[in-house]
Structure 1
Amino acid sequence: MKRRLTATPGPSPSKQPRQDPVSCESCRKKKLKCDRNIPCGSCTTRKLHCTFGSHGTLPTSHSVKQGSQTAERPPLNNKAVSRPQQQAPHAEAQSSNRDDPLVTADWLETIVMGHRVPSAIPAPLRDELSQHSRVAVSQQNPSSGTLHFLFGSGRRASSESPASIQLPLFLPSRAEAMALFHFYFDHLDYQYHIIIPSRTKRDIEVIYDRSPGDELNLQHVALLFAIIATALFYQLLSTDPARLAEASGCEAAFLAGAALIQSDYIACPSIEGLQATMIIGHHLSIATLNPAVSSLFLHGSLISQAKSLGLHLVDSPVSKRNPNGGDRTTIELKRRLWWDLASYDWLLGFLSGPQEWTYTISPQQMNVKRPWNIEDEDIEKSEMELPLSQPTCMSYTLHRLRLAEVCREIVDSTASDHLQGVEIPYDRILSLDRKLHDAYAGIPSFFRFDQSSQRKFASLYRERPSIAWQRAFIQQGYHSRLCRLHRQYFVRGARDPRYSYSHVVSLQSARKVLEVKRIMDEEEPLFVPNSSLFWAVMHHVFMAAVILLIDVCFNWDDILAEKRKEEVLAACRMLSRAQQSSSVAREGVNAMMGILRKHWKQERRPHDLQSDPTATGRHDQSFEQVPQTRISLSKDAQTEVPGIDFSASDFGQIPLEDLWSEILDSSGDVGLGTPDWMDLLNELTNATAPPE
């Protein structure tokens, strides 16, 4: 609660006529937005004497105290940071009713589905929500020191104009910046290796080593804020409240976008600016960001930015004749950035969503050599790359690229049939299956899970845990695509010997996806941050569990039915553990459970099954009329489907295993036809499509 402080006692506030304060004299002169506190946040940050004309000034002792809090920011993970005094119990009771809409709005903004639709929370409500975020930040220990540069001034950066915000005021201390950089490099960079650490570290140090009169390189500042946004987001995902991660990531991402806007990045792009936009585009949900900057981080915008830099022509004759093309490290970095965008583009084409069955980057419209399989520090020294059988920092990127190329070939081969509603011939499915298996066979031993490989490379995994983590990602990537390729013939394969291969491959791949997740959770080196924090991992796990669930329901009278039910429940328990450790997994699983139960309740037709034994193989035409799931903005946030009454909050109150047990127990009454369960799988994939 804000309190107005005055230099001398005055009449009772109840007797004073209400007069809205104006901006302080310093903010008026500098044409800055004043928060109208006494002293205001701008003057506090700049250590200026804050005067409000007739309102007087703050006593000197208080000004010094406020200034001392921002003069020297506490270092990262400083456990000695003091906490503000807690609010009195009666004050909390008075404000509880007022906070209900804030809780609801925050839930809507931070749910994992938020990246699929733009946020529509009114600005006044957002401002009030940001105050709650700042309170949450100040109560975190030891993270309060880390976040002080974002929230410590008492104002929200994203409430200002990105074109005029004073970016140096929000820079963290050097120690904080380097600690967040090292967290990003150690625990996140291995997924998309699009920076050269020594080069990026040098750019960050230049920011802090500059003389007072030197001009900031704003695109280097943008890269720093992009790294900060991603590192903070994953550092804080497991904290309570979970909205702290979202608020911190969004604020830092806004500052990165503001730096790009102020540097006129679109007209004058740079490698560092593109790295900044790609880091945020890969790791954060775009639609939850401030609309003033979010368009910079869209996938289509990233490709346009890369083309503006000429990355699609790095190895063309024209580029080679350009004397300003850059040194060898710069050229290799350009290749890495371009192929990362191409891989992401082609992987998206074989994933449900608005981009399904299409891609933007055509191999015929580029001239870029593949990145070398080489360590960063050897780019300038070596004249040739290492064989793919030897692990480097680029091994995962190159094998992910191979998977992406196969996904592009699948899109080329099947897009026309899908878009015209024609069933893909089975022999073509088998041909594409061979391509996936051939690519999978090319995975080196250090990316495999067989016992001999694990023993052989145990020391490598201890020295470079990122190699072990990449091994899990590449394995999940291949097996989840095999499940997706064969899903059209999966159920038919259980009854028709002509398609039995699809049934077998789908089950094998689903089980391997679940086994990989178990290894992520139980075997060394353990993921840091936990693998459950990555929704791409949990999305694959949920889809694999649903494949096993569908198989049980279509073969409920099988002699091994009980064993298969236990297998499904074991996968369900894996999801439950992830829900307990990760807000991302909790929100994502709850959202997918809403879709699953909607379809399941609709498809349980006991009367139809009794009257027509062939109903299990027929498409239910009434399914087309089922409205989409709605979320009401009430405190209980109930999910409603016509004819069915269940609450979205049930997923957090009823153990997940009980919900799946209910589905398994009623599996004999399920009447899913092939088009229906295909709709179910497509909607599950489309609603929560993960980044790759």
Structure 2
Amino acid sequence: MKRKEPIATDSQEPTQQNGRRQPQTSCLNCRVKKIKCDRGAPCASCVVRGISCTGQPGSKPAVVPQYGAADSNVDISILSRLASLERAVFGGARPMSDAINGNHGSSPSTGGLLQPSPATPTQFTAINTPSPASHQDTERQQAAKFLDSTHTENDYSVTTQVHRPHFHVAPVSSHLQLATKNTALTETSSRWVFVMTRDEALLLLGDFCGNPYHLLPIIYEPSARSLINAFYTQLEQGHEGDPTAAALILSIASTSASFFSYETSKHKIFASTEEANQASVAWRQAAITILDDSQFSTEGSLERCQARTIIAYVVSNVEGCSARYRLLHNCSLTIARDMSLHLVDSTTATGASDDPPTREIKRRLWWHLASTDWLLSLVGGPLDGTYTVQPRHFVVNRPRNLNDSDLSRNDEILTYPLHVLTQVSCFLQRIRLGEICREIADARAPGLLGVDITDFDTVSSLDLLFKKALAQMPPSLRKEGPIPQGAPLHFAQQRDLTLLCFNFRRARLHRPFLLHDTENSLHEASRRQCLASARTVLSISIEMLEEPSVVGPNQDLGNPLAYRAGLVISAMFTACAILALNAGLIWSRTKDDARTNDVSSELHSEITHACRVLAKLGEKSAFAANLVRNLVGVLEQYSVKGVDYLAPPPTRSNLNSEYGVGNGACSTYTARGRLQSVGDAMNVADNFTMWNEVFTMPEMEGYDQLFAGLDFYCGPI
């Protein structure tokens, strides 16, 4: 039979071979490589490889459209000119395919799940990026990235023989005594780590998830329970336990033990609060030992990053923003980057197989670390005015407003409006505060990172960020706001912590104008805001620390847990310093004015009560005792006389239990008797002349140095 001659439309295709009985359906490249072709024009295989696709008999729509389908009648030169023009205008931020398709990019911080408030610029955290579809790597690019990873991810270091730790399971009541006898290596080839029983570990996990005094929604309780059961099953079967899992278990247990109260606890794992403090220190040190020991350390993992983050929180409660805390925080950030936690929602994410709860926990963990990094830029000390997490350098959607019980539904789109209270409502407000702190750090003059902002217009514009954030909070998140039914347990305490965070930072923003000339109306407005925020901090913190009765010489602190939260202590410490210095300024300038003397006396009474509460904290918290002593030391350094009676010389042996130094990690904390004289002698109203000589310094730099000295002892939230 005579074959049909090819028509004109087939002239662009290669001449078919003689004897072909079926028309060609695959493109030439797919036929040569012998791979399946989707018969698109172009086909998906050629698009991914970045090569031209030829040989199809017709023009079928592409199954995987990587680029916008331009009109075939449009000249190629016109498209190239348009692309060049867009690159010149937008700087490469939008590819030509996005312009054709109308895709203007999306913010990786929101991902379309939570729309940021249009009135708050701080909500826009990440920068618009090109469409992910335009970033498909070719085979050669993938090979190049693989070769890059061989010397950045894999460990080729030559080390000695690895000796994994040996875990000894024992009840808490007996294992504290065992730990004191085996604090060092029992042999040159092994190390003993003492852990609680399985049941005790599960109870302590429940305490951690129900703790109202930390904003750490980075643990998914069902996954943590599975990890605990798997760890103890390994030990029961005679296998070596996973050190990373052990570190996470110990960090959770250390946090729960540090907030243990025998009167309010549902279980009696510990015989007393002192025993709980001893266990917290021992477990904290054991977890740090595991995480820092290079012999049995592994590559970055979610559990390792969670453990370091939790341990950093425990250390901040005990030491404030110390060098050890800063090191733990930076290590957590490094591990997070090693495991690509900053690319959770990127097209190149390595954890694409994670289930929805795990991905959401990763988002929370990354945003906790990022917001903490930004918050540290506004607490003074070595990190003042600096941060390391750049919004351009991560692609992580903002955590969704969900309860942990909603994560089990495996719905990637589900989220509640921000006015609906969930377990992460206060956590989301913490993220927003971190973004405000980042903008404050960016507003500082280049080269003056360690100097507070003293330009009033700049401070006023930055204060608007606080005003908008506080105004846009749901009514239930405001002080004295009604708490609706169905709100999370302990929501009132977490709301108070959130408000402490905002007012503490807002007072610090206005603090440079506190001691300026009060006749300047602009400075007066800033000074009033600083004092108002400081009073709010005092009001909230005292309410958290007291029952309805007023603190007296023979009364204990009403709340058995709030004094163990480092945020409450450091915020109250800063507020006391601000009000005391302001009252001393009024006292020294207006001694003979009867009207202002009445105002000064009222301030003195307010500070008297606050200082009594702060000194009372020192009887139970070594961190608070240290702040009282450091406050006195700094004021004495700047010629403040008559304050040495406020705090006696430090007795290091009495701080061993909480700080974990001295004779092992299980020494007994007996600071109550040591600081009893502090509470008895604290009568600031009768002895307020102690503040007078601080105001003899003529230069404003003296006050800046004074506050810088006080800032060093304050910790993050």
TM-score tier after normalising by the smaller chain length: 0.5 to 0.7
Contact 1:286/1:298 (<8 A) preserved: no
- Structure index of larger Rg: 2
User: Would you say the 8 A contact 1:150–1:248 is kept in 2?
Assistant: yes
- CA offset at residue 297 of structure 1? 6.2
SS in 2 for 1:494: coil
Offset of residue 563 of structure 1: 1.8
Residue equivalent to 1:231: 256
Q: Does 1:676 align with 2:676?
A: no
Aligned CA-pair RMSD: 3.9
Pair 1:205 & 2:261 matched: no
Spell out, residue by residue over 1:302-325, the C-alpha distance to the aligned partner (whole angstroms, 9 max, x if none): 111001110111111112xx5754
Cross-structure match for 1:596: 635
Partner of 1:187: 211
Q: Counterpart of 2:332 in structure 1: which amino acid?
A: L
- Seen in structure 2, the aligned counterparts of structure 1 residues 351 and 528 have a Cα distance that, compared at 3 Å, is same
Compute the displacement of 1:529 (Å): 4.6
* 2:389 equivalent to 1:361: yes
Choose the corresponding residue for 2:423, options 393, 398, 411: 393
Cα separation, partners in 2 of 1:663 and 1:417, compared to 1, 3 Å: farther
The answer to whether 1:307 aligns with 2:337 is: yes
Residue identity (%): 26
CA shift in 2, pair 1:550/1:255, >3 Å: closer
Change (3 A) 1:491 1:568: same
Q: Which amino acid aligns with 1:255?
A: A
Q: How does 1:531-546 map to 2 (within 5 A)?
A: 531-546=562-577
- Counterparts of 1:200 and 1:636, CA distance in 2: 35
**Structure 2 unmatched ranges of 5 or more:** 1-161, 264-269, 549-556, 591-595, 656-672
1:326 Cα deviation after fit? 0.8
Please point out which of 346, 349, 363 is paired with 1:335: 363
* 2:302 counterpart (258, 263, 271): 271
Q: Which residue of 1 aligns with 2:38?
A: none
Secondary structure, counterpart of 2:448 in structure 1: helix
Q: 1:377 to 1:359 in 2, by over 3 A?
A: same
Inter-partner Cα distance in structure 2 for 1:657 and 1:201: 49
> Which of structures 1 and 2 has the larger relative contact order (alpha carbons within 8 angstroms, sep 6+)?
2
- Distance in 2 (alpha carbons) for counterparts of 1:528 and 1:178: 25
- Partner of residue 473, structure 1: 497
- Matched with 1:351 is 379
1:157 to partner: Cα distance: 3.6
8 Å CA contact 2:258, 2:564 repeated in 1: no
Match of 1:155 among 166, 177, 181: 181
Q: 1:260 to 1:551 in 2, by over 3 A?
A: closer
Native 8 Å contact 1:532 1:538 kept in 2: yes
Aligned residue identity for 2:229: E
Counterpart of 1:272 in 2: which secondary structure?
helix
CA contact (8 A) 1:219 1:265 kept: no
Contact 2:316 2:566 in 1 (8 A): no
2:582 equivalent to 1:551: yes
**What code does the residue aligned with 2:638 have?**
H
- 2:521 maps to 1:490: no
Residues 1:373 and 2:401 are matched in the alignment: yes
For the structure 1 residues 162 and 311, does the alpha-carbon distance in structure 2 shift closer, same or farther, using more than 3 Å as the test? farther
AA matched with 1:235 = F
Structure 2 counterpart SS, 1:368: coil
Q: Which has the higher helix share?
A: 1
Alignment of 1:111-130 (within 5 A): none
Partner of 2:479: 449
Cα deviations by residue, 1:610-645 (Å, 9 ceiling, x for unpaired): xxxxxxxxxxxxxxxxxxx997989999xxxxxxxx
Distance 2:498 2:467 in 1: 13
Mean Cα displacement is larger for which, 148-157 or 353-362?
148-157
Q: CA deviation at 1:551?
A: 1.7
Give, in whole Å, the separation in 2 of the partners of 1:336 and 1:517: 27
8 Å CA contact 2:615, 2:678 repeated in 1:
no
Is the contact between residue 257 and residue 296 of structure 1 (CA under 8 Å) also seen in structure 2?
no
Report the equivalent of 1:568.
Answer: 607
1:212-247 superposed Cα distances (whole Å, 9 cap, x missing partner): 144533322221111122222333899999986665
> Aligned pair in 2 of structure 1 residues 313, 656: CA closer, same or farther (>3 Å)?
farther
**2:242 match:** 217
User: How big is each residue's C-alpha offset from its partner over 1:410-459, in whole Å with a ceiling of 9 and x where there is no partner?
Assistant: 00001526338696321101111111211122222222223xx23x53x5
User: Which one of 421, 430, 439 corresponds to residue 409 of structure 1?
Assistant: 439
Question: Equivalents in 1 of 2:347, 2:506: separation in Å?
Answer: 39
On the 8 A contact 2:545/2:559 being kept in 1, the answer is no
Aligned counterpart, 1:519:
543
Taking the aligned partners of 1:668 and 1:653, their CA distance within structure 2 comes to 24
Alignment partner for residue 281 of structure 1, among 312, 317, 321?
Answer: 312
Partner amino acid, structure 1, of 2:379: L
Alpha-carbon distance between aligned partners in 1 of 2:404 and 2:576, rounded to the nearest angstrom: 39
1:97-120 Cα offsets, whole Å, 9 max, x none, are xxxxxxxxxxxxxxxxxxxxxxxx
* Contact map agreement 1:147 1:248 (CA 8 A) in 2: no
Contact (CA 8 Å) 2:257, 2:279: kept in 1 or not?
Answer: yes
Q: Displacement of 1:582 after TM fit?
A: 3.3
Residues 124-163 of structure 1 deviation map (CA, whole Å, 9 limit, x = unaligned): xxxxxxxxxxxxxxxxxxxxxx342243365234556898
CA contact (8 A) 1:349 1:359 kept: yes
